[in-house]
Structure 1
Amino acid sequence: MKNSIYLLLSLMFLNSCNKQETANAETDTPDFEGKVEYRLRFVPDPGKNVDTLELRKEMGERSTFMVKQGAIKQINESDQMTLQLFLPKENRLYYTNRTEPGTLYFYRCDKMDNIDFKYEIVKNAATIAGYSCDKLIYTDKFVQIDYYFAPGLKMNPKYSKDYTFLNRNKITGIMKSVFLRQDFRMPGENDFTLITEAVKVEKMKIDDKEFDKPKYETIKER
């Protein structure tokens, strides 16, 4: 379960939107800078007995996302990966665990090769937090993920061009915006779907200091 939880939280960094069909938005509007508040819920598969209370305890029910010029900060309620920080210039994903207060971990985002995947785009699939969203249906050999995204909340894929971990560069090569809902499934591993959905979107200036690396006594590569 812990490995699955780690992967679930890591994948919350994936951001996506349709490249070709948002060309006008790309030209006319700048990249989204601001904050998104998410709520998490766990939906058991039909006929499955899943302890959703335990899942909420382990993973929390809220997440706060901030982005500025490709740099991303995410604060989660979970004990694992409580803070996540992606710095494009370093191409590293830093994170901390509440259970290990003296250690800062990091992943080199080009350490894992890309894997094959399939995708489909569904236009005007839902309205979330006041935004009309298209849907990306993404499938690889490990996971199935539906992303709902608003084309106006752009993120330039140049910031993640070398981010091969979890196929992020491939996904942002096809699409490029902040997701407002993510339905995540690991067939054969978990008997539930994790739904992460935006409840509030704020376009605002974010202080550069928000993306400073935390000062920790121990720094470890994972």
Structure 2
Amino acid sequence: MKGAGTIQDMPRVERPREKMMRYGPEKLGEEELLAILLRTGTRGRNVLDLAGDLLRRFGRGELAKAGFAELRAAPGLGPVRSCEILAAFELGRRYLNGKKAGIYLKPRDIWEELRDVRGEKKEHFVVFYLDTRNQEIKRDIVSIGTLNYNLVHPREVFEPAVKNLAASVIVAHNHPSGCLEPSDEDLSLTKRLSQAGKLLGIELLDHVIVTKEGFMSFKQKGLL
């Protein structure tokens, strides 16, 4: 019945939501599961057609890795639907990994959290403020633009840390060029932030450079 009419034209027992209630989620295909998230189709395309279009556009397994901008650009997805899809996959990742929400111990955690930033055309400098259990208190985008002393000052990083009683911070920024090698400015800034953190008793745990393809940890490279 796909491609002809609407979901309402299908026999009730074959509709994705009714099928899930009757047989359980494990009996549904990927298109049907995604159709339940999407809820409705678009003009001329029922929700199963739309779900199939999205799976073909991104490829099997790649939809879960898409960021907001990529989803938003897909036909039939507005900002609300894009956010709902992102939320569903993020919940799945957190439960699958057995990781408590908002706890960051590895550079890959930061890379995954910054999926919307890592493809930006300008550098975004992000600070994660953590408590004594490495659980996120808050995060801020401190600057947007090429990293330099004027754009990112230790004060901009640590004032919110003191205000929010953070025990430590992790900083990260994207490299639009796709290169994961730290620049001289990256190295200098990291050193200044580390020194400032030691004076305040707020440890800089890591500085992570992210791109679409991967990440580089100053801690893992012995640069911090």
The two structures have a TM-score, normalised by structure 2, of 0.19
The higher-RCO structure (CA 8 Å, 6+ apart) is 1
Tell which structure's C-alpha radius of gyration is larger.
2
Name the structure where helix makes up a greater proportion of residues: 2
**Structure (1/2) with the larger strand percentage:** 1
- TM-score, normalisation: structure 1: 0.19
